Protein backbone atom coordinates (compact mmCIF):
# COMPACT_ATOMS: atom_id res chain seq x y z
CA UNK A 1 0.00 0.00 0.00
CA UNK A 2 1.38 3.40 -0.88
CA UNK A 3 0.89 6.34 1.44
CA UNK A 4 -0.17 9.69 0.05
CA UNK A 5 2.86 11.89 -0.28
CA UNK A 6 3.71 13.66 3.00
CA UNK A 7 1.29 11.64 5.16
CA UNK A 8 2.39 9.11 7.75
CA UNK A 9 0.53 5.87 8.32
CA UNK A 10 -1.90 6.12 11.26
CA UNK A 11 -2.94 3.45 13.74
CA UNK A 12 -5.98 3.53 15.98
CA UNK A 13 -7.18 1.35 18.84
CA UNK A 14 -10.55 1.43 20.59
CA UNK A 15 -11.31 -0.42 23.81
CA UNK A 16 -14.41 -0.65 25.96
CA UNK A 17 -15.42 -2.30 29.17
CA UNK A 18 -18.51 -2.66 31.33
CA UNK A 19 -18.56 -3.24 35.08
CA UNK A 20 -21.60 -4.27 37.09
CA UNK A 21 -21.84 -1.89 40.03
CA UNK A 22 -25.28 -2.80 41.34
CA UNK A 23 -27.91 -5.43 40.84
CA UNK A 24 -29.24 -3.62 37.77
CA UNK A 25 -26.63 -0.86 37.33
CA UNK A 26 -23.56 -0.86 35.13
CA UNK A 27 -20.66 1.52 34.53
CA UNK A 28 -19.37 1.66 30.97
CA UNK A 29 -16.23 3.20 29.60
CA UNK A 30 -15.14 3.35 25.98
CA UNK A 31 -11.86 4.93 24.90
CA UNK A 32 -10.06 5.36 21.63
CA UNK A 33 -6.58 6.55 20.72
CA UNK A 34 -4.82 7.07 17.42
CA UNK A 35 -1.37 8.26 16.35
CA UNK A 36 0.90 8.48 13.37
CA UNK A 37 3.63 5.89 12.90
CA UNK A 38 7.16 7.13 12.47
CA UNK A 39 9.26 5.92 9.54
CA UNK A 40 10.35 2.32 10.22
CA UNK A 41 8.34 2.01 13.46
CA UNK A 42 6.88 -1.44 14.16
CA UNK A 43 3.04 -1.14 14.04
CA UNK A 44 2.63 -4.12 16.40
CA UNK A 45 4.81 -2.51 19.09
CA UNK A 46 2.97 0.82 18.68
CA UNK A 47 -0.40 -0.93 19.12
CA UNK A 48 0.88 -2.67 22.27
CA UNK A 49 1.90 0.72 23.71
CA UNK A 50 -1.52 2.21 22.95
CA UNK A 51 -3.23 -0.88 24.37
CA UNK A 52 -1.32 -0.48 27.65
CA UNK A 53 -2.26 3.20 27.95
CA UNK A 54 -5.94 2.54 27.22
CA UNK A 55 -6.13 -0.58 29.41
CA UNK A 56 -4.61 1.33 32.35
CA UNK A 57 -7.12 4.13 31.77
CA UNK A 58 -10.08 1.72 31.71
CA UNK A 59 -8.91 -0.09 34.83
CA UNK A 60 -8.39 3.17 36.72
CA UNK A 61 -11.76 4.65 35.77
CA UNK A 62 -13.92 1.55 36.01
CA UNK A 63 -12.21 0.52 39.24
CA UNK A 64 -13.35 3.81 40.76
CA UNK A 65 -16.92 3.56 39.42
CA UNK A 66 -19.42 3.62 42.24
CA UNK A 67 -23.13 4.11 42.47
CA UNK A 68 -23.86 6.82 45.01
CA UNK A 69 -25.58 5.51 48.11
CA UNK A 70 -29.34 5.70 47.97
CA UNK A 71 -31.00 8.38 50.01
CA UNK A 72 -32.39 7.22 53.32
CA UNK A 73 -36.02 6.36 52.79
CA UNK A 74 -38.49 6.38 55.62
CA UNK A 75 -39.62 2.83 56.34
CA UNK A 76 -42.98 2.13 54.81
CA UNK A 77 -45.64 0.12 56.58
CA UNK A 78 -45.68 -3.55 55.67
CA UNK A 79 -48.36 -4.31 53.10
CA UNK A 80 -51.12 -6.62 54.07
CA UNK A 81 -52.14 -8.83 51.19
CA UNK A 82 -54.64 -11.61 51.73
CA UNK A 83 -52.80 -14.97 51.90
CA UNK A 84 -55.22 -16.38 49.29
CA UNK A 85 -54.18 -13.61 46.87
CA UNK A 86 -50.51 -14.21 47.69
CA UNK A 87 -51.02 -17.86 46.72
CA UNK A 88 -52.69 -16.83 43.45
CA UNK A 89 -49.81 -14.48 42.64
CA UNK A 90 -47.20 -17.12 43.44
CA UNK A 91 -49.01 -19.62 41.18
CA UNK A 92 -49.13 -17.38 38.10
CA UNK A 93 -47.29 -18.69 35.01
CA UNK A 94 -44.01 -16.91 35.82
CA UNK A 95 -41.48 -16.86 32.97
CA UNK A 96 -37.79 -17.47 33.82
CA UNK A 97 -35.67 -14.35 33.42
CA UNK A 98 -32.13 -13.79 32.21
CA UNK A 99 -30.68 -13.90 35.73
CA UNK A 100 -30.73 -17.10 37.82
CA UNK A 101 -33.81 -17.14 40.03
CA UNK A 102 -35.41 -14.12 38.36
CA UNK A 103 -38.91 -14.56 36.96
CA UNK A 104 -41.37 -12.16 35.40
CA UNK A 105 -44.99 -11.85 34.39
CA UNK A 106 -46.64 -9.37 32.04
CA UNK A 107 -49.04 -7.19 34.06
CA UNK A 108 -51.59 -6.80 31.25
CA UNK A 109 -52.08 -10.58 30.98
CA UNK A 110 -52.96 -10.98 34.69
CA UNK A 111 -54.30 -7.57 35.76
CA UNK A 112 -57.05 -8.82 38.06
CA UNK A 113 -54.86 -11.33 39.86
CA UNK A 114 -51.88 -8.98 40.36
CA UNK A 115 -53.96 -5.86 41.15
CA UNK A 116 -53.36 -5.91 44.96
CA UNK A 117 -49.62 -6.43 44.43
CA UNK A 118 -49.52 -3.78 41.70
CA UNK A 119 -51.17 -1.21 43.99
CA UNK A 120 -48.51 -1.80 46.66
CA UNK A 121 -45.66 -1.69 44.11
CA UNK A 122 -46.91 1.59 42.59
CA UNK A 123 -46.84 3.23 46.04
CA UNK A 124 -43.18 2.36 46.51
CA UNK A 125 -39.94 3.81 45.26
CA UNK A 126 -39.45 2.23 41.79
CA UNK A 127 -36.03 0.87 42.79
CA UNK A 128 -37.36 -0.83 45.92
CA UNK A 129 -38.48 -4.41 46.33
CA UNK A 130 -41.58 -5.60 48.10
CA UNK A 131 -41.20 -8.85 50.00
CA UNK A 132 -44.37 -10.92 50.10
CA UNK A 133 -44.22 -14.57 51.06
CA UNK A 134 -41.14 -16.27 49.64
CA UNK A 135 -40.43 -13.67 46.94
CA UNK A 136 -39.28 -10.08 46.45
CA UNK A 137 -41.27 -8.23 43.80
CA UNK A 138 -40.51 -5.11 41.77
CA UNK A 139 -42.43 -3.29 39.07
CA UNK A 140 -40.29 -3.23 35.91
CA UNK A 141 -42.22 -1.28 33.28
CA UNK A 142 -44.99 -3.49 31.90
CA UNK A 143 -43.75 -6.45 33.94
CA UNK A 144 -43.53 -7.51 37.53
CA UNK A 145 -40.22 -9.17 38.32
CA UNK A 146 -39.78 -11.52 41.23
CA UNK A 147 -36.79 -13.02 42.95
CA UNK A 148 -36.70 -15.67 45.67
CA UNK A 149 -36.02 -14.32 49.15
CA UNK A 150 -32.48 -15.26 50.12
CA UNK A 151 -32.03 -16.69 53.56
CA UNK A 152 -30.50 -14.06 55.81
CA UNK A 153 -31.30 -11.26 53.34
CA UNK A 154 -32.60 -7.98 54.69
CA UNK A 155 -35.94 -6.92 53.19
CA UNK A 156 -35.96 -3.54 51.49
**127 found inside a domain:** yes
Examine the domain organization and report whether 57 and 87 are in the same domain.
no
118-135 pLDDT, tens digit per residue, is: 888 888 888 888 888 888
Examine the domain organization and report whether 89 and 53 are in the same domain.
no
Report whether 64 contacts 29 (CB < 8 A). Answer: no
Examine the domain organization and report whether 37 and 90 are in the same domain.
no
**pTM across the whole model:** 0.47
Looking at residue 156, its pLDDT comes to: 46
**99 found inside a domain:** yes
CA distances 79 to 67, 84, 112, 119, 151, Å, are: 29, 14, 18, 10, 20
pLDDT bin (cut points 50, 70, 90) of residue 76 is low
For 35, the domain range is: 10-63
**78 found inside a domain:** no
Provide φ and ψ at 146, rounded to 5°.
-135, 150
Q: Which residue, 92, 96, 97, is CA-closest to 108?
A: 92
Looking at residue 69, its pLDDT comes to: 54
Q: Average pLDDT, stretch 80-107?
A: 86
Looking at residue 104, its pLDDT comes to: 92
Amino acid sequence: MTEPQGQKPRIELSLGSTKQVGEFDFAKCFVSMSRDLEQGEDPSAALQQIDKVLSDFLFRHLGAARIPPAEKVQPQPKPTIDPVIVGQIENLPWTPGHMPGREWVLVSEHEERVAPLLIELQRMDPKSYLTVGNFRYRLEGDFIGRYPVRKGAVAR
